[in-house]
């Protein structure tokens, strides 16, 4: 290896056999980006070269006969920068407790936030996604690591972060849990992004390159036209569903939900044309619209939802999809009709309870406005468009008595809800529910961060008001067995086919029920 001068321009010449070149390349991984490099024996060194500079942007390959391989040493007195691209590793950790849900690939969804960050990362970074949805974590060399996590996977995220930090690799954490528990996350990361990361991501990368990560970064709520689509080439081909987001924010502020705290009260909708363009790039036949309420709130949101569904039909998109919406989705037959024509087969609705007292407790305002007596009419209207209903119910609210819980389970079984989600009341950080129960000293697991693994919506983590914890948990087990009994699920499927007239809608609902049954089997709430 030697340094040459040509018209005041330094160049680095690495010549010799493949073994020598490979050895020399390992020594020059840090050098000024402006320094040209010449390497001999093209035919023998391709593999070594690709590992150091896969882009080929900074290395000129030439054939020479001179051989002079030496250590670079102190001959270059310039600030060191990596010759090849920087390596960014994005990680999606998974809490293995929910393995019952994860056994079916159709129940896994790509980490949308990490894909968006990848799309915002400049070309001089190589981006890799380590996704525990399909493979357990294995260490990869990196210059910077970005990790997101839901609360139940926070411990796993911290474990992986510690592995990298022990190797001197800086770690940035973000997402809903890190945003709500930023002080905690900073104990395990070099920097934490609070809120939506797009507005600060370029600055995070620049600070990481200069070795000056500054701890906390506060993202701003973006205008809809500035929300970038994700870079989907980093996702596993095993994902059955593609995740697409058309809006952010929710003004409803239910006590148990952190969406308002994280994304704000105002609905921010992406331009319909941008969403349609993104949908046309998808290879997946099935899509999950991750918006908390795809129809939004008010006439303008309704108009945009209608334009989206009509646009999908006009462009001839052959997608099958499901979404989340408020109970108000049933108020507009035209929206439902176009949604079905565009491929909608199931709508997730947060019903929570059939009891007015329970709805009042959790501030479920829209459901209260409609009244629990309106539920059946809601289901009928949605079914009339050929769409099934996934109803979410919560067990363990303060007003829940044993009798109320058994009534709720019977309502789930006997009503025309097609798919049923039974979750245990879980106070997640950032919610008013968590704050209230913490102040009342009613949280059963408080050894954080270790105890976050219990906060996965399937365990009892608080002390109820109306009965001892053991009694409530026993009732939840009984209700789970009633709701997810195979005979019940088969009866539900027959009824869904009758009410919707759609085999696809029926299949969506039945598979969803089986997935929730698998959770119970994995956790032991079903035997």
Same-domain status, 208 and 249: no
Residue 131, domain extent? 86-218
pLDDT of 436 over the 90 cut? yes
pLDDT of 56 over the 90 cut? no
Taking the C-alpha atoms of residue 54 and residue 85, their distance in angstroms, rounded to an integer, is: 8
Q: What is the CATH number of the domain that holds 466?
A: 3.80.30.20
Taking the C-alpha atoms of residue 235 and residue 131, their distance in angstroms, rounded to an integer, is: 8
pLDDT in tens, 229-265: 999 999 999 999 999 999 998 888 889 998 888 888 8
> Contact 442/476 with Cβ under 8 angstroms?
no
pLDDT of residue 290: 95
> Contact 407/393 with Cβ under 8 angstroms?
no
> Contact 101/484 with Cβ under 8 angstroms?
no
Percent of the chain residues topping a pLDDT of 70: 81
Same-domain status, 368 and 333: yes
Same-domain status, 145 and 207: yes
Q: Is residue 441 part of a domain?
A: yes
pLDDT of 43 over the 50 cut? no
pLDDT in tens, 350-376: 999 998 888 888 888 788 777 777 899
Q: Is residue 95 part of a domain?
A: yes
Q: Is residue 267 part of a domain?
A: yes
Rg (CA), the chain: 27
Q: How far is CA 295 from CA 11, 254, 306, 383, 439, in A?
A: 60, 17, 8, 17, 35
Q: Is residue 170 part of a domain?
A: yes
Taking the C-alpha atoms of residue 33 and residue 321, their distance in angstroms, rounded to an integer, is: 47
> Contact 421/347 with Cβ under 8 angstroms?
no
Same-domain status, 53 and 150: no
Taking the C-alpha atoms of residue 431 and residue 132, their distance in angstroms, rounded to an integer, is: 27
Considering the chain, what is the average pLDDT of its residues? 84
Q: At what angle do helices 402-414 and 469-483 cross, to 10 degrees?
A: 10
pLDDT of residue 367: 82
The token duo for 455 is 């906060």
Q: Is residue 498 part of a domain?
A: yes
pLDDT of residue 104: 58
Q: Is residue 344 part of a domain?
A: yes
> Any residues with CB less than 8 A from the CB of 502 and at least 6 apart, and which?
345, 386, 387, 388
pLDDT in tens, 296-349: 888 888 999 999 999 999 999 999 999 999 999 999 999 999 999 999 999 999
pLDDT of 507 over the 60 cut? yes
Same-domain status, 126 and 260: no
Lowest mean pLDDT among 7-21, 144-158, 367-381: 7-21
pLDDT of residue 78: 31
pLDDT of 48 over the 50 cut? no
Query: Residue 420's beta-bridge partner residues?
Result: 391
Length of the chain: 527
Torsion sign across C-alpha atoms 269, 271, 274, 275: positive
pLDDT of residue 252: 83
pLDDT of 1 over the 90 cut? no
Picking from 81, 102, 80, the residue whose alpha carbon sits closest to that of residue 92 is 102
Q: Is residue 68 part of a domain?
A: no
pLDDT of 284 over the 60 cut? yes
Query: Between residues 506 and 85, which one has the greater pLDDT?
Result: 506
In the chain, the number of structural domains is 3
- Scanning 315-401, the segments in alpha helix (DSSP H) are 333-341, 356-361, 365-370, 375-384
Lowest mean pLDDT among 101-105, 212-216, 481-485: 101-105
Taking the C-alpha atoms of residue 69 and residue 467, their distance in angstroms, rounded to an integer, is: 78
Q: What is the CATH number of the domain that holds 181?
A: 3.40.50.2300
- Residue 63's pLDDT band, with cuts at 50, 70 and 90, is very low
Same-domain status, 411 and 496: yes
- Residue 105's pLDDT band, with cuts at 50, 70 and 90, is low
pLDDT of residue 362: 81
Same-domain status, 438 and 323: yes
pLDDT of residue 356: 84
pLDDT of 62 over the 80 cut? no
Same-domain status, 358 and 412: yes
Q: Is residue 228 part of a domain?
A: no
């Amino acid at each position: 290896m030697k340094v040459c001068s040509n018209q005041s321009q330094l160049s680095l010449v690495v010549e010799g056999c493949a073994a020598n070149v490979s050895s020399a390349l390992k020594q020059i991984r840090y050098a000024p980006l402006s320094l040209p490099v010449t390497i001999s024996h093209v035919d023998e060194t391709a593999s070594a070269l690709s590992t150091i500079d896969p882009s080929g942007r900074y290395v000129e390959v030439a054939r020479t006969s001179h051989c002079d391989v030496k250590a670079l040493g102190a001959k270059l007195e310039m600030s060191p920068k990596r010759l090849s691209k920087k390596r960014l590793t994005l990680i999606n950790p998974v809490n293995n407790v929910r393995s019952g849900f994860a056994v079916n690939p159709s129940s896994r969804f790509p980490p949308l936030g990490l894909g968006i960050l990848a799309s915002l990362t400049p070309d001089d970074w190589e981006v890799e996604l380590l996704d525990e949805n399909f493979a357990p974590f294995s260490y990869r060399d990196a210059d910077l690591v970005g990790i997101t996590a839901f609360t139940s996977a926070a411990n796993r995220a911290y474990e992986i972060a510690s592995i990298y930090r022990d190797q001197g690799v800086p770690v940035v954490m973000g997402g809903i849990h890190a945003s709500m528990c930023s002080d905690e996350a900073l104990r395990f990361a070099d920097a934490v992004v609070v809120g939506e990361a797009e507005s600060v991501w370029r600055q995070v990368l620049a600070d990481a390159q200069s070795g000056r990560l500054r701890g906390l970064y506060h993202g701003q709520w973006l205008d809809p036209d500035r929300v970038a689509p994700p870079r989907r080439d980093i996702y596993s081909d095993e994902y059955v569903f593609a995740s697409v987001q058309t809006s952010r924010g929710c003004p409803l502020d239910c006590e148990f939900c952190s969406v308002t705290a994280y994304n704000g009260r105002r609905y921010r909708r992406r331009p319909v044309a941008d969403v349609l363009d993104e949908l046309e790039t998808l290879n997946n036949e099935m899509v999950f619209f991750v918006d908390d309420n795809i129809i939004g709130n008010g006439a303008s949101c309704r108009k945009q939802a209608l334009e989206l569904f009509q646009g999908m039909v006009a462009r001839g998109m052959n997608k099958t999809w499901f979404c989340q919406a408020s109970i108000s989705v049933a108020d507009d037959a035209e929206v439902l009709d176009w949604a079905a024509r565009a491929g909608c087969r199931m709508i997730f609705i947060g019903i929570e309870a059939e009891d007015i007292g329970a709805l009042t407790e959790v501030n479920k305002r829209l459901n209260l406005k409609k009244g629990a007596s309106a539920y059946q009419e809601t289901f009928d209207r949605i079914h009339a468009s050929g769409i099934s209903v996934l109803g979410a119910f919560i067990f363990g609210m303060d007003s829940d008595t044993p009798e109320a819980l058994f009534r709720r389970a019977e309502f789930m079984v006997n009503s025309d809800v097609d798919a049923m989600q039974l979750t245990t009341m879980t106070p997640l950080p950032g919610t008013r529910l968590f704050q209230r129960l913490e102040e009342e000293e009613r949280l059963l697991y408080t050894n954080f961060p270790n105890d976050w693994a219990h906060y996965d919506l399937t365990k009892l983590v608080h002390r109820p008001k109306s009965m001892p914890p053991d009694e409530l948990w026993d009732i939840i087990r009984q209700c789970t067995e009633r709701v997810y009994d195979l005979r019940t699920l088969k009866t539900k499927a027959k009824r869904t086919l009758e009410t919707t007239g759609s085999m696809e809608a029926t299949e969506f609902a039945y598979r969803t029920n089986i997935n929730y049954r698998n959770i119970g089997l994995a956790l032991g709430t079903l035997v």
